[in-house]
Amino acid sequence: MPELHLIVQNKVGLHARSAALFAQTARQYQSKIVVWNNDRFADATDVVKLVTLAIYQGTEIIVKADGADADLALAALQKLVESNFGEPL
């Protein structure tokens, strides 16, 4: 199962807006995508569960995907996180 290690640079971390964008992007793929923060994880398509992971600025997350389009999904999510969810740094 491929995975990515990403640092969330957004000033307020993975908050409602950025979590919604993350989930919206994840829903575009058939693969099962999970986000890990330390020993807790959440389905990447569930906004509420993503927010409950308490991902703040500077937090390293692990994103894992399993399925036929896993690499494409991870690439899209990496681009989203690295672009700071479309917000200025």
| Beta bridge partners of residue 60, listed in sequence order | 7
Q: Which of 2, 4, 9, 15 is catalytic?
A: 15
Concatenating the DSSP letter of every residue in 17-52 gives HHHHHHHHHHTTSSSEEEEEETTEEEETT-HHHHHT
20, with CB counted inside 10 A (0-12, 13-18, 19+), is middle
Q: Is 5 a catalytic residue?
A: no
Q: Find, among 62, 40, 58, the residue nearest to 49 by Cα.
A: 40
Residues with catalytic roles:
15
